[in-house]
Structure 1
Amino acid sequence: MDGQQSTPDDVYTHGHHESVVRAHAARTAQNSAAFVLPHLAPGSRVLDVGCGPGSITCDFAALTAPGQVVGLDRSEDIVAQARALAEERGVENVRFVTGNVYDLDVEDEAFDVVHAHQVLQHLTDPVAAVREMRRVAKPGGIIAVRDADFHGMSWYPEIPELDEWMDLYQRIARRNGAEPDAGRRLVSWMQEAGFTDVAPSSSNWLYATPQQRTWQARVWSERVLHSAFADQAVGYGFAERADLERIASGWHRWGSSADGWFLIPNGEVIGRA
């Protein structure tokens, strides 16, 4: 699907370890794309850029049938998982393809809604990606983007290892040419991409019940030790294995705190093509 023109060679900070994919598969249209739902209708054509394992994409397809929904990801392995999910759910108006957000193999003005969830934060040129997303949106259609803001995250109790985790994540992402505090920059990026009609909003993910804390702590402790995050932390010389083990233990200590709280703010923007 990649075009012949030169495009940025982005490094994905998270990678596709099982712990990462498991976290992404827990996302739904309701808990991760509620700001898009009022813009969906039966018959809408939707492109979901950076669709991951397809959980949000399949939700979109259910809401827009008989409209056609396309999920796009650069990983063939992840696309295969998304196809399996669609088959498992019996969703027939969705297809999944590999592709490049900077050079979409899609004709101009093809979709009513072009959506990207937690994608722009990982790109070295998010503005170029937004321009390309705009190209494939119909006149009057929308481009919907949502990204977390890492420096906006807050937690309790104060766990020093989580401070280390944040510092390490920031260093790795920026070493990759990415912007981990993307949420607060979405309006700016949309404006730079040429949008004059933008509607910003925000929403949170909160982990504060025992079940939520256990889930979040397990996911991130595994990611710290075993995902591409771990490989990059050591490979870039930012941490030793002992550091990662200490940070992972800190995540577990936070997860076992009866009064634990972890808040992830997300910026959201709807741009009108």
Structure 2
Amino acid sequence: MQRSFLGGGEPVRYVHGHDPATLASHSVRTAANSCGYLLSYLKPGMSVLDIGCGPGSITLDLAEIVGPEGRVIGLENTAEPLGAARQMAADRGDSGTRFVVGDVLQLPFPDESFEVVHAHQMLQHVVDPVSALTEMHRVCAPDGVIAVRDADYAAMSWYPHYPGMERWRNTYRELAKRSGGEPDAGRHLRAWAHAAGLVDPVITTSAWTYADTDSCRWWGNGQADRISGAVFRDRVATVLGTTDADVDEMVRGWRSWANNPDSCFTMTHGEMIVIR
């Protein structure tokens, strides 16, 4: 059985899974659209650890910023998405960035190993985010940067209203909580930092907004593809008793929203910078 970021006991599978639809969605994440709050802290030659790197698109952008003289490692809790990450690195001509398997609750690195320790959309999946931040602090060098960004599902907003989409949110939030995570992690970052003993966390927010024809179709149909697959269906059936008919309603809601000319969707994220 694979390890999980949840750690600290019985291994748990990543709630979203790593099916092709999920990897395709994650692969469009960039340093610009997913960690803009961090970019002003980056300098050529820095060492960077990117935790929860997935298919590696953000990791490889960070590697470009710190340059060939920098040292960048992307870490995942399972090998599943790392094949895609290594292929993306090869396609971009990056032979220096490393991708490894490891657990954020037991990072496989010595103390003070990295000048930047970054995680995007990761703490929401951890059963003990305070311990995860403690580990991130441990491997961060003095005067280094700890940077995290996480979504807040309860704060997501959209128009027009479709019952299937609201049912999707309620179902996903319950599934995440039953799996040991916190789907509204963005609003908890400051409290978690204080509990971990981190000093003077700087909290900001930003959002992904989909409000034009192409982006709404991509986002809506992509979400429909993700939840219509076997991974989501199997997990909500096993954990929550959700039926295929229930999931089909969610899929119809997303596809209807994707094709509505008035559609708008906003996903709010909490962001945090801590200087060690």
Seen in structure 2, the aligned counterparts of structure 1 residues 223 and 157 have a Cα distance that, compared at 3 Å, is same
Q: What is residue 32 of structure 1 aligned with on the other side?
A: 34
* Corresponding pairs, count: 271
Mean Cα displacement is larger for which, 88-97 or 20-29?
88-97
Cα deviation, 1:45-70, whole Å, max 9, x if unaligned, reads 00000100000000000000111100
Give the 3-state SS of the residue equivalent to 1:21 in structure 2.
Answer: helix
CA distance in 1, matches of 2:137, 2:83: 26
- 2:177 is equivalent to residue 174 of structure 1: yes
Give the 3-state SS of the residue equivalent to 1:236 in structure 2.
Answer: helix
Q: Which amino acid aligns with 1:15?
A: G
Q: What is residue 195 of structure 1 aligned with on the other side?
A: 198
Counterparts of 1:44-63 in structure 2, within 5 Å, are: 44-63=46-65
Mean Cα displacement is larger for which, 222-231 or 184-193?
222-231
Residues 111, 137 of structure 1: 8 Å contact kept: yes
Give the 3-state SS of the residue equivalent to 1:82 in structure 2.
Answer: helix
Counterparts of 1:1-273 in structure 2, within 5 Å, are: 9-65=11-67, 66-226=69-229, 228-273=231-276
CA distance in 2, matches of 1:8, 1:41: 39
Seen in structure 2, the aligned counterparts of structure 1 residues 45 and 7 have a Cα distance that, compared at 3 Å, is farther
Deviation at 1:74, TM superposition (A): 1.5
Give the 3-state SS of the residue equivalent to 1:263 in structure 2.
Answer: strand
Residues 10, 124 of structure 1: 8 Å contact kept: no
Kindly report structure 1 stretches of 4+ aligned residues shifted beyond 3 Å.
Answer: 5-8
CA distance in 2, matches of 1:222, 1:6: 32
TM-score normalized by structure 1?
A: 0.96
CA distance in 2, matches of 1:227, 1:76: 20
CA distance in 1, matches of 2:13, 2:267: 23
Residues 175, 240 of structure 2: 8 Å contact kept: no
Q: Which amino acid aligns with 1:219?
A: G
Q: Which amino acid aligns with 1:38?
A: S
CA distance in 1, matches of 2:79, 2:14: 15
Q: Which amino acid aligns with 1:9?
A: P
Residues 8, 124 of structure 1: 8 Å contact kept: no
User: Share of identical aligned residues, percent?
Assistant: 41
Residues 164, 250 of structure 2: 8 Å contact kept: yes
Deviation at 1:204, TM superposition (A): 0.3
TM-score normalized by structure 2?
A: 0.95
Give the 3-state SS of the residue equivalent to 1:142 in structure 2.
Answer: strand
Mean Cα displacement is larger for which, 89-98 or 34-43?
89-98
Deviation at 1:87, TM superposition (A): 1.1
Q: Which amino acid aligns with 1:85?
A: M
Residues 155, 267 of structure 2: 8 Å contact kept: yes
Structure 2 gaps of 5+ residues are: none
CA distance in 2, matches of 1:8, 1:107: 25
Residues 203, 266 of structure 1: 8 Å contact kept: yes
What is the RMSD computed on CA atoms of the aligned residues?
Answer: 1.5
Structure 1 gaps of 5+ residues are: none
Deviation at 1:6, TM superposition (A): 5.2
Deviation at 1:8, TM superposition (A): 6.1
Give the 3-state SS of the residue equivalent to 2:80 in structure 1.
Answer: helix
Residues 233, 239 of structure 1: 8 Å contact kept: yes
Q: Which amino acid aligns with 2:247?
A: L
Q: Which amino acid aligns with 2:125?
A: H
CA distance in 1, matches of 2:185, 2:272: 12
Deviation at 1:170, TM superposition (A): 1.1
Deviation at 1:19, TM superposition (A): 0.7
